[in-house]
Amino acid sequence: MRNSIEFKVYGRMALFTDPLTRLGGEKASYAVPTYQALKGIVESIYWKPTILWYIDEVRVMHEIRTQSRSVKPRKYQGGKNELSYYQYLSDVCYEVRAHFEFNLHRKDLAADRNENKHHQIAKRMVERGGRRDIFLGTRECQGYVEPVEYGSEKGYYDEAGKMPLGVMFHGFNYPDETGRETLEVRFWQAVMENGVLHFPRPEACKLVRTVREGIEPKIFQWEDMLSVEEEMKALETEPLGGGEE
């Protein structure tokens, strides 16, 4: 696909939170990563407000295993800690395929729509492990990114057939991405087929709920943008392995 990147992301543990498990202060992970979590990983690799990243599909490479850990989060009232149990995924590895498109709602950034510039930088950032730290759902779950030839390695569920996963959180609709001054949440009926999740585009999700209204997108000034030459020059001095520090 045009403007696409492919990479492998892995780590010792992950927590792709099911919102329903947050009510009692304890958290449990979905069995597979959510669209929004993968989008956050891609944006940590390379992001500019000029572009929108779309997650096309993800391969689950390792067996889905869980582990429970006790934590002591601080109470919202009272100032003391309390004991909770979080359920994490253990030893995770995924192959991800994503692509970007220009954000046509950001007319203030039309002059920055240089397709080749953003694609070349994105591919280079995959090789470097990302511009920012990579997290697998939450801050305590450190992840690592490497370039990969998508589909070349054998995955644990390659011959598992269809596995319905029920209704899952898909992601958020932000005002600067939709042109509407509302924050919305999306859900979808997830099905993993031979270890692969094919994500629908955000606008194709039918289960959408409004979270908040009256939110205006942030406006970026053109003076904040770098030219192609300045962007590439900055990359020459950027240290390697930004995503692993």
- Domain residues of the chain, as ranges? 4-74+83-235
The helix (run of H) or strand (run of E) holding residue 43 is helix 35-45
User: Pick from 191, 167, 172: which is nearest to 182 by CA?
Assistant: 172
- Give per-residue pLDDT as tens, 155-170: 999 999 999 999 999 9
Q: Is the pLDDT of residue 14 over 60?
A: yes
Neighbours of 94 (CB within 10 A): 24
Helix (H) or strand (E) holding 196: strand 196-198
pLDDT greater than 60 at residue 242 = no
Specify the pLDDT at position 149: 94
Rounded average pLDDT over 142-160 = 95
Contact call for residues 99 and 1 (beta carbons, < 8 A): yes
The pLDDT of residue 153 is above 90: yes
- Please enumerate in sequence order all residues whose Cβ is within 8 A of that of 233, keeping only pairs 6 or more positions apart, or say none: none
Alpha helices in 17-152, H assignment, sequence order: 35-45, 115-128
User: Do 36 and 43 contact (CB within 8 A), yes or no?
Assistant: no
CATH topology of domain 4-74+83-235: Alpha-Beta Plaits (3.30.70)
Closest of 167, 161, 174 to residue 40, by C-alpha: 174
* Distance separating alpha carbons of residues 222 and 188, to the nearest angstrom: 37
The answer to whether residue 150 scores a pLDDT higher than 50 is yes
Report how far residue 140's alpha carbon sits from residue 243's, in angstroms, rounded to the nearest whole number: 14
| Residue 101 contacts residue 3 (beta carbons within 8 Å) | yes
Q: Specify the pTM.
A: 0.84
The yes-or-no verdict on residue 136 having pLDDT over 50 is yes
Distance between CA atoms of residues 7 and 153, nearest Å: 12
Q: Say if residue 225's pLDDT is above 80.
A: no
Q: Of 18-22, 74-78, 86-90, 241-245, which gets the smallest average pLDDT? A: 241-245
pLDDT of residue 244: 38
- 68-127: per-residue pLDDT in tens? 988 777 666 666 767 788 899 999 999 999 999 999 988 888 888 999 999 999 999 999
What's the pLDDT score for residue 224?
58
